[in-house]
Structure 1
């Protein structure tokens, strides 16, 4: 198994396509933001927050998600939100990540009574990301063509579920306005409003909203419930990813592909865990998983792989050697190494690559393919010709970095 140095992994161009803004704040900034916004935290030291909230290991998904109540609370302050977006881009730039797709649920942060609308939030997040991009791309190395420029896109997440109170001021108010509707009707209405607003902001305001995602609890809230929402995105050329196969069986992945026109899959872990299939109509689970994997591979549908996050939210995996990433590699799937949540999972893109490359056999040619998928399978905000040129620039830079570190095929 080839050994790749930390210096090489840090230097090679990388993309993170599954990156939650509200799960990726700097811990020191979270503390400052909370003080500024008068948000109570369980601790006001990094050490205390790591011990009580953002742990290295979690017992279950609920414990993993606990920290989002604090990050979302501070991000409802617009100054904090712009700072978080800016710092997230800078943190990625510092470890050689040249392309990110930042995803978050704007409706978790909206507060209509305070005038904090969808439009406001999208402009503020874009302002932070754009500032970091401009600074980086004005550097001498980028201007001289010695390094690829930094680019980004924004993916907006609809929520699979939310309660009548407590999720956010927007959701609480929506339930009050639609109090005679069934809860699922309210949830789907919010999702439809999100996708319509996303297309409008992209087309009318030029905000680089490149994709739609559906996030939240998979079990009990299948992606097929949001088919009309995804149809609207599909009809308006807004690309689509779906959290699928993270905590539910492979049938959820099939739904994402067939009901929601998914262009990529978020996590996709259960694809190679036939024992997680619960649909009683699927009798031969092994064959179903094998056929679905072949379908995904044949169509080069990329999987956003989040190793550390999966280990933390699914303790049954145990050791990283047991992760289904090994089956993704064996089945030649298009895989992209991602972080999911830099703060909640206490990781970076470089750390995730180190974890993958120190555990699984990935020759240099295969590593180059994985890196390339991050640029070829992204939802680039420009047109296809521009995307190809940008991908080529990054792949060529990978070859150059590999040569500098004495690595050859």
Structure 2
């Protein structure tokens, strides 16, 4: 596929990243600095060493991909580190023209009740780092004058589907001990409901820009419908919803996210165009099922958070990037938003993901602008709808300006 757009142009256009895990997107040198400060043992204390041993170009499976999170989560239980990581993540995005981000993470993985690190403290600390970057960037003269759009952000809180062991974090260790007569899945659901109630409280009473709910963790064997009550509570309290669906399981997982969890967006959605991944024995005509579901998603303009590098790394059967299902999403006119998933774990940027996208599909400028627009029109903006429309308009006007400056038409 011929690349239409230069790296410089793709870097300069205004972009949004709506699928961005904080704990998977630390700076490698920042991780080393934080680990030394907090006394956390790492496999290596050089960037090259971490790249060789942990954060690789490719992985054998999802388990290996997730291995690095044990180190990032450990350092982020130090509130100084958490604030720094949030600030640096925003600044790294701004350095490549990403002016709106929705940072997602599981706050309960950072909590440590024995040290007084509760949910509220984790959320305020994360917001402080993001707010510091926002204030710093938006005070610049070209932003103040309106020559450039300002930076903004929202926070998406993740509930966890499961854990490999009960000692995954201090909070969960204590919770499992307290609820020792409950089944593990019951404990996880209780934690999820506690998180969503606290998220809505902080949004409504303290004004934190908590804009959405997500469910993360191993998809296969832990269906989203088990958290239906959690999603219903979010839905009834005007908190928007995204679901990791169709990443490592078939299209029936996507259907469930839409019908059981009221999903406003889909995280990954890769398997939508891989009917062979469907495992539900009641679905006899897999191709027809997938086609009808794709048409429904396109018609409803339900946005898909596309993470190409991450999919290539966690699903080795894809092989070359040219085989990625983004091509089918593009051809079927789905509302696709180009995202990174994990900037550190996948060693990528939003600009690089756009470069990969144009290796998969031939994207005319109008379609490229549409894709950029989805990032601003399908986001969970922390202000009201009129403010969101005005912000999107400003971003897209700036897109036109950058295109003209780079002689792209």
TM-score normalized by structure 2? 0.99
- 3-state DSSP of counterpart to 1:202: helix
Q: Distance in 2 between matches of 1:2 and 1:25?
A: 29
Are 1:106 and 2:107 matched, yes or no?
A: yes
The CA deviation at 1:183 is 1.1
**What does 1:240-259 correspond to in 2, within 5 Å?**
240-259=241-260
**Aligned equivalent of 2:44:** 43
* Contact residue 85 and residue 125 of structure 1 kept, 8 A: yes
Q: What aligned pairs does 1:192-231 form with structure 2 within 5 A after superposition?
A: 192-231=193-232
Note if contact 1:162-1:171 (Cα within 8 Å) is conserved in structure 2. Answer: no
Give the superposition deviation at 1:251: 0.2
Asked if the contact 2:138–2:151 (Cα under 8 Å) also holds between the matched residues in 1, the reply is yes
Alignment of 1:298-377 (within 5 A): 298-377=299-378
Q: What is the deviation of 1:358?
A: 3.2
Q: Report the CA distance between 1:182 and its aligned residue.
A: 1.1
> 1:277-311 CA deviation, whole Å, 9 max, x = no partner?
00000000000000000000000000000000000
Distance in 2 separating the partners of 1:160 and 1:357? 33
Q: Which runs of 4+ in 1 moved over 3 A?
A: none
1:21-47, Cα deviation, whole Å (9 max, x unpaired): 000000000001000000000000000
CA root-mean-square deviation: 0.7
Alignment gaps of 5+ in structure 1: none
Aligned-partner Cα distance in 2 for 1:353–1:368: 12
Measured in 2, the distance between the counterparts of 1:270 and 1:235 equals 29
- d(CA) in 2 for partners of 1:285 and 1:194? 36
Q: Which deviations, in whole Å up to 9, do the C-alpha atoms of 1:69-116 show, x marking residues without a partner?
A: 000000000000000000000000010001000000000010011100
What is the match of residue 147 of structure 1? 148
Secondary structure of 1:181's aligned partner: coil
Cα deviation for residue 246 of structure 1 reads 0.2
In the other structure, the counterpart of 1:297 is 298
> What is residue 403 of structure 2 aligned with on the other side?
402
CA distance in structure 2 between the partners assigned to 1:165 and 1:187 by the alignment = 10
- In the aligned structure 2, how far is the partner of 1:359 from the partner of 1:185? 42
> Hey, what's the Cα distance between the residues in 1 that align with 2:247 and 2:163?
19
8 Å contact from structure 2 (residues 107, 122) kept in 1? yes
**Structure 2, unaligned stretches of length 5 or more?**
none
SS across alignment from 1:366:
helix
Partner of 1:392: 393
SS at match of 1:90: helix
For these two proteins, the number of residue pairs brought into alignment is 408
Match of 1:79 in 2: 80
DSSP-derived class of the 1:213 partner: strand
**CA distance 1:163–1:186, change in 2 (3 Å):** farther
**Alpha-carbon distance in structure 2 between the residues aligned to 1:389 and 1:219:** 40
Who is 1:115 aligned against? Answer: 116
Using the alignment, how far apart are the partners of 1:2 and 1:32 within structure 2?
38
CA contact (8 A) 2:326 2:360 kept: no
Cα distance, 1:357 vs structure 2: 1.5
Counterparts of 2:91 and 2:355, CA distance in 1? 21
Question: 2: CA distance between counterparts of 1:163 and 1:66?
Answer: 12
Counterpart CA distance in 1 for 2:330 and 2:33 is 42
Contact in 2 for aligned 1:3/1:358 (Cα 8 Å): no
SS for the counterpart of 1:146 is coil
Counterpart-to-counterpart distance in 1, 2:45 and 2:368 = 40
Q: Which shows bigger deviation, 59-68 or 160-169?
A: 160-169
Query: Distance between the aligned counterparts of 1:26 and 1:156, measured in 2?
Result: 21
Indicate conservation of the 8 Å contact 2:264/2:302, yes or no. Answer: yes
Q: Secondary structure at the match of 2:157?
A: strand
